[in-house]
Amino acid sequence: MTMNRGLHFIFRTHLAALSGIILVCLLAQVAAADETASLMSQKVRNEKKEKPIMSMTITSSSFSPHGVIPARHTCDGHDTSPELFWTEVPEGTQSLVLIMDDPDAPDPAAPKRTWVHWVLYNIPPGASGLSEAIATADLPPGTREGLNDWQRTGYGGPCPPIGKHRYFHKLYALDTVLPDLKQPTKAKLEKAMEGHVIAYSELIGLYQKH
């Protein structure tokens, strides 16, 4: 009888220990599931910020989407900026940013860097475009300029050393007016834009030297 009571006590002790282990495992699984759900939720929020809806449209009277940029807008011509138009700027936009760059430098067959041609920010949301060969003095009121990769402000046209390059004219709608960034590089401007982009559109033109 004493032996049976001893065995019963040992059985209950082991059962309690096993129950405790199972409970700890279940709690760990619940905590892991909660953490995974939290990370997924944060990832979705980040993706929404990083991938704004392309609700705007940007076009040019100088060239069609994926069309050839006329020589007058390049180093083979007068090197003047093309005329640009945009529509459907979303409600809540406080400023616009325009960046023109070439991701195919120096050779589209073996690109090594993105060359920046034009940087504008704090374009007023009421502006509907930029005229051809626009000068700094004629930019929409409040517009500020950044540095291109020639380390100067203003437009620098296509001048590819080899092959046919793509030139992206990127328009961003921001929910804020940025502070004076003192002629920022593209990288510095993009850093300041983080978390403020609410819409995006792009126009791609092509050019190859002859």
Tell me which residue of 196, 207, 103, 97 sits closest to 163, measured CA to CA: 207
What gap in Å lies between CA 187 and CA 162, rounded to an integer?
25
pLDDT tens column, 176-203: 999 999 999 999 999 999 999 999 999 9
CB atoms within 10 A of CB 140: 17
Residue 58: pLDDT band with limits 50, 70, 90: very high
pTM score, whole prediction:
0.76
Q: Tell me the sheet residues that pair with 120.
A: 98, 145
